[in-house]
């Protein structure tokens, strides 16, 4: 009887021991990352002297730890994207998305990093305890120009992409904030009506206005609903049932082929293009382009929004054809639409982090890949010709660069908050694209007057930087 009781007790202790092991494994491997990332984690309150740095593609420091403080050398230029790491307010941006890599192994919640730290400790080394460095695709010269141009306005955003790889070369949002003084300014920033903490490039949703005619043209040409030789007549208005629409400024352009209608940005003509395309095909191409998805980006993005197909009337389809109605997109989404045309019909997957470097060695490498192939190479070539006409003689002449063929599209998007938003989307050189630029300036009026000159100046610096 005594031996049986001892055996039962032994089994009980074994079961309890196994339970402890399972609980510890759960805490370390499953719950650990969430605990490590939580702002209330007491380990985060310790001076994080070994947190890794965030770097531009050329090694320029975007974030580093100096003593017990996190320092952001570019300050406002990349505040929303690089983000912040705060004991009190947590993390955001790349600091949040790559917190496990940046954090020293004992506090990161990353099992692989903790194993590396343990092995290094057994060898008598402490190198693996330091957090990894995160290397981005940002090109500082382009970033500097983009932010400086946008900062002249109250609210604006912009994105510069490599159209072939999807690499984000520059990205900015204004108003911005200084992450170096976050501890003192966060309560004010949080309640600021201008929303400086909002990354308008990724999370700002706007009617795209006539820049969306790139999409409508692509879909209509790709399906054969129209050709470059299709003609349209614009008396200054167009009736769809009892609904009457008109051009901006009530302009009258008369008869045009598709290229002229695109170059002069004729809403009346593009309402007809959308109707010829038809509702089912319009929505099919929205899905082919993955408009409304997360875009599989490395940071959170706000998906584009549009109503369910079943709710759309002919008049609403006509308005969506020229980027109005209930359609809302981000600057990143518009940059990808232009990049698809520049890339011969292949939509690149955007990315901004290209490497994780741990203890001097590359631990991970990232690239963009492909999101989809929504249109044919032939369609992309035709739309490129139309975008060249915009800058050559249409609404986008203010985006022209000497000796460079710029393909672009203006947009003047009406919205319920007052003056129209100013848009411009372009790529260059048109015959061998190296960069795509998408710009939106809130409540600034005509795209040709405000956004196009910004895009021109940013493109100039982008092309110079990529030659050097």
Superfamily the domain 201-351+368-467 falls into: DD-peptidase/beta-lactamase superfamily (3.40.710.10)
- Which residues of the chain carry a pLDDT beneath 50? 39, 42, 45-47, 107-109, 118, 121, 126-128
Contacts of 40 (CB under 8 A, 6+ apart): none
Contact (Cβ atoms closer than 8 angstroms) between residue 182 and residue 86: yes
Whether the full predicted model's pTM is greater than 0.95, yes or no, is no
| pLDDT for the residue 466 | 87
Q: Which residues contact 352 (CB under 8 A, 6 or more apart)?
A: 81, 94, 136, 137, 138, 167, 168, 171, 297, 298, 299
Please report the pLDDT score of residue 108 as a whole number: 47
pLDDT tens by residue, 245-279: 988 777 899 999 999 999 999 999 999 999 999 99
Q: Apex CA 291: angle with CA 288 and CA 293, to 5°? A: 105
- Please tell me whether residue 157 adopts helix, strand or coil conformation: strand
pLDDT in tens, 153-193: 999 999 999 999 999 999 999 999 999 999 999 999 999 99
pLDDT of residue 121: 47
Cα separation of 166 and 169, whole Å?
9
In this prediction, residue 364 carries a pLDDT of: 92
Q: What is the pLDDT of residue 47?
A: 43
Domain range list for the chain: 201-351+368-467
For residues 114 and 214, what is the distance between their CA atoms, to the nearest angstrom? 49
Distance separating alpha carbons of residues 389 and 263, to the nearest angstrom: 6
Q: Which residues pair with 428 in a beta bridge?
A: 435
CA distances from 463 to 139, 178, 347, 373 (A): 11, 29, 21, 26
R_g of the chain, CA atoms, integer Å: 26
Q: Render pLDDT for 366-418 as a digit per residue (tens, 0 to 9).
A: 988 999 999 999 999 999 999 999 999 999 999 999 999 999 999 999 987 78
Q: Please give the pLDDT value at position 27.
A: 55
């Amino acid at each position: 009887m005594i031996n049986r009781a001892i055996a039962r007790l032994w089994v009980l202790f074994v079961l309890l021991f196994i339970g402890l092991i399972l609980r510890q494994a759960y805490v370390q491997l499953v719950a650990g990352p969430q605990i490590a990332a939580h702002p209330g984690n007491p380990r985060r309150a310790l001076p994080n002297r070994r947190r890794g740095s965030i770097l531009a593609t050329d090694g320029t420091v975007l974030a580093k730890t100096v003593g017990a403080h996190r320092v952001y050398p570019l300050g406002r230029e990349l505040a929303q994207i690089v983000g912040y790491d705060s004991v009190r307010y947590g993390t955001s941006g790349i600091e949040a998305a790559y917190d496990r890599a940046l954090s020293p192994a004992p506090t990161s919640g990353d099992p692989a990093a903790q194993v590396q730290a343990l092995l290094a400790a057994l060898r008598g080394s402490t190198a693996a305890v330091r957090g990894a460095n995160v290397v981005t695709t940002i090109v500082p010269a382009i970033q500097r120009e983009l932010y400086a141009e946008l900062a002249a306005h109250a609210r604006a955003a912009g994105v510069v992409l490599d159209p072939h790889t999807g690499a984000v070369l520059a990205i900015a949002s204004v108003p911005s904030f200084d992450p170096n003084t976050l501890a003192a300014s966060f309560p004010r920033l949080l309640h600021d009506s201008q929303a400086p903490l909002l990354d308008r490039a990724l999370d700002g949703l706007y009617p795209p206005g006539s820049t969306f005619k790139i999409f409508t043209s692509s879909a209509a040409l790709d399906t054969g609903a129209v050709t470059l030789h299709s003609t349209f007549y614009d008396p200054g208005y167009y009736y769809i049932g009892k609904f009457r629409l008109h051009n901006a400024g009530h302009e009258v352009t008369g008869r045009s082929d598709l290229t002229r209608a695109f170059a002069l940005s004729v809403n009346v003509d593009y309402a007809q293009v959308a109707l010829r395309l038809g509702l089912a095909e319009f929505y099919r191409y929205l899905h082919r382009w993955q408009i409304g998805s997360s875009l599989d980006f490395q940071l959170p993005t706000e998906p584009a929004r549009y109503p369910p197909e079943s709710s759309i009337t002919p008049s609403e389809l006509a308005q969506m054809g020229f980027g109005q109605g209930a359609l809302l997109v981000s600057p990143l989404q518009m940059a990808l639409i232009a990049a698809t045309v520049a890339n011969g019909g292949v939509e690149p997957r955007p990315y901004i982090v290209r490497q994780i470097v741990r203890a001097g060695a590359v631990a991970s490498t990232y690239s963009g890949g492909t999101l989809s192939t929504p249109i044919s190479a032939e369609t992309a070539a035709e739309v490129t010709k139309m975008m060249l006409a915009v800058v050559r003689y249409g609404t986008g002449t203010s985006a022209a660069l000497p000796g460079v063929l710029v393909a672009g599209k203006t947009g003047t998007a009406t919205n319920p908050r007052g003056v129209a938003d100013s848009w411009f989307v372009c790529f260059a050189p048109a015959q061998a694209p190296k960069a795509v630029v998408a710009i939106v300036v809130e409540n600034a009026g005509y795209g040709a007057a405000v956004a196009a000159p910004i895009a021109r100046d940013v493109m100039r610096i982008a092309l110079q930087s990529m030659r050097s």
